[in-house]
């Protein structure tokens, strides 16, 4: 497939794949994404391929088209990859490895020692490949291009690493600092800022929240070894390339330290006969009466990866659900479990929590959920249950319940 390879610098080309059609990726809703791969040429035209793409024929064909275009642009007749850097095992960044290895069997694969068995497990054809396993501080030195590796264990898999291209000041960070965006443009400044940061926030919330302490340690290490001052560009493996590294590093520090830029609550609710939904709207009015923003998520329409993006920037999370068989309407359980797994309290902010819902005779659904939220690390400040359909007095109480929580959010 013919495809152009956009140039990042004189010697660096984008050779990844634009996946226009992806709407879901292991649980996250998307509107397309990109699998970013980069081809770097040394001064004597040795070619280094950093990461690759999802293992589908059409994705690999798009990448291959860009690789051919890069060689042509450079005036080189023979397409030959001399070195492969594999920053991460996961299939969206390694799926073309077998094909590349078969075309260029002499090209060694640079990866962490943890990545090597993982890659061979995914692609048994690589068993005969030459792996060079590297750790923090190791380098690949070519004419005018020095690649220094940095272990990035659990950011976001045990095998992950970063590659720093010294001469150009580019950090190839793989998934870290990524965004699921699919654009013709390659840079941060070419996309509306709100769209870019929204995508980065969603990526952090879903992939990095529970890894926050490790991320903080890694950022400290980057400062301590003097790397921060040298980074001019961050090229992640999804989405736009950051030409303003401090914009995304600053945002990561905020998310990692529980900084919420506005007073905001996220309300998550479902209903069978609309009573809990009615309560949610009244509670939202109470919260807003205190000048606090609300993000509303109705589970018949919204899904978890979008919801947790808002939780990341919220000081309080309220969950509303009707009682069903003494427990809860089950859609909330999916979201509750996901929020529990993400361990938002690791961001250094113990968020306020509250529950509410309608019941018929025994009640207990919201109270049950309240206990679960407490176990998940929320500072529970209330539970409100209304019998069957809320009347005017119930709705007034819901408003007051919301207003009280709004006050508490402002005090945080
Ligand atoms: C299948 C089913 C099981 C229910 N189980 C309980 C229950 O165990 N305890 C209770 O108090 N109400 C129970 N209810 C009643 C609902 O909680 C009640 O109708 C409530 O008002 C529904 O709120 P909603 O309008 O937000 O869906 C049950 C309702 C249904 C349909």
pLDDT digit string, tens, across residues 235-291: 999 999 999 999 999 999 999 999 999 999 999 999 999 999 999 999 999 999 999
Ligand 1 pocket, 194 CB below 6 A? no
What would the pLDDT profile of 313-366 be if each residue is shown by its tens digit? 999 999 999 999 999 999 999 999 999 999 999 999 999 999 999 999 999 999
Q: What's the whole-number mean pLDDT along residues 43-53? A: 98
The predicted structure's pLDDT at residue 231: 98
The predicted structure's pLDDT at residue 210: 97
- Name the residue with the closest Cα to ligand 1, atom 2: 324
CB 24 within 8 A of CB 18: no
Q: Could you tell me how far CA 248 lies from the centroid of its own chain?
A: 12
Distance 271 CA to ligand 1 centre (A): 9
Helix axis angle, 365-375 relative to 331-342, nearest 10°?
Answer: 10
Instruction: Choose the residue to mutate in 324, 355, 365, 369 for probing ligand 1, maximizing ligand atoms within 8 Å of C-beta.
Output: 324
CB 103 within 8 A of CB 83: no
Q: Pairing relation of β-strands 17-19 and 33-35?
A: antiparallel
Distance 34 CA to ligand 1 centre (A): 44
pTM of this structure: 0.96
Domains along the sequence of the chain with CATH:
7-256 (3.60.15.10), 265-407 (3.40.50.360)
pLDDT band at 27 (very low <50, low <70, confident <90, very high): confident
Q: What's the whole-number mean pLDDT along residues 124-128? A: 97
Q: Which two tokens stand for residue 276?
A: 């809990």
CA dihedral sign, ordered 161, 166, 172, 177: positive
* Beta bridge mates, 25: 28
- Total count of residues recorded for the chain: 412
CB 40 within 8 A of CB 47: yes
- Name the residue with the closest Cα to ligand 1, atom 1: 324
Is the predicted ipTM greater than 0.90, yes or no? yes
Ligand 1 pocket, 325 CB below 6 A? yes
pLDDT band at 26 (very low <50, low <70, confident <90, very high): confident
Instruction: Choose the residue to mutate in 268, 269, 270, 272 for probing ligand 1, maximizing ligand atoms within 8 Å of C-beta.
Output: 272
Q: Could you tell me how far CA 88 lies from the centroid of its own chain?
A: 15
Ligand 1 pocket, 36 CB below 6 A? no
Q: What secondary structure letter does DSSP report for 241?
A: B
- Name the residue with the closest Cα to ligand 1, atom 30: 324
């Amino acid at each position: 497939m013919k495809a152009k390879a956009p140039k990042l610098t004189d010697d660096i080309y984008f050779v990844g794949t634009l996946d226009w059609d992806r709407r879901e990726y292991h649980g996250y809703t998307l509107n397309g994404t990109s699998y970013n791969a980069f081809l770097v040429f040394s001064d004597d035209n040795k070619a280094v391929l950093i990461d690759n793409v999802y293992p589908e024929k059409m994705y690999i064909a798009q990448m291959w088209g860009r690789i051919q275009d890069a060689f042509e642009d450079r005036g080189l007749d023979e397409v030959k990859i001399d070195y492969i850097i594999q920053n991460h095992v996961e299939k969206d960044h390694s799926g073309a490895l077998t094909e590349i290895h078969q075309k260029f069997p002499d090209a060694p694969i640079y990866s962490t020692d943890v990545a090597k068995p993982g890659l061979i497990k995914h692609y048994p054809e690589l068993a005969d490949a030459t792996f060079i396993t590297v750790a923090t501080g190791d380098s690949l030195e070519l004419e005018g291009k020095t690649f220094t590796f940095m272990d990035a264990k659990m950011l976001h898999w045990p095998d992950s690493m970063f590659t720093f291209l010294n001469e150009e000041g580019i950090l190839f960070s793989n998934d870290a600092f990524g965004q699921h965006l699919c654009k013709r443009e390659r840079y941060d400044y070419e996309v509306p800022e709100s769209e870019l940061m929204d995508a980065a926030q969603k990526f952090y919330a879903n992939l990095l929240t529970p890894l926050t302490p490790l991320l903080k340690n890694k950022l400290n290490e980057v400062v301590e070894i003097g790397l921060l001052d040298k980074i001019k560009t961050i090229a992640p493996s999804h989405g736009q390339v950051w030409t303003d590294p401090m914009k995304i590093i600053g945002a990561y520090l905020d998310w990692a330290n529980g900084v919420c830029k506005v007073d905001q609550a996220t309300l998550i609710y479902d209903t069978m006969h609309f009573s809990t939904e009615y309560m949610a709207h009244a509670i939202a009015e109470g919260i807003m009466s205190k000048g606090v923003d609300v993000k509303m998520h109705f589970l018949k329409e919204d899904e978890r990866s979008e919801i947790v993006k808002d939780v990341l920037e919220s000081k309080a999370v309220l969950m509303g659900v009707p009682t069903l068989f003494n427990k809860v309407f089950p859609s909330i359980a999916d979201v509750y479990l996901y929020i529990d797994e993400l361990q938002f309290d690791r961001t250094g902010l113990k968020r306020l929590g509250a529950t509410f819902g309608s019941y018929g005779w025994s009640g207990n659904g919201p109270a049950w959920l309240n206990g679960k939220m407490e176990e998940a690390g929320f500072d529970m400040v209330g539970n409100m249950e209304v019998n069957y359909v809320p009347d005017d007095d119930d709705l007034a109480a819901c408003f007051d319940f919301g207003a009280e929580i709004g006050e508490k959010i402002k005090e945080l």
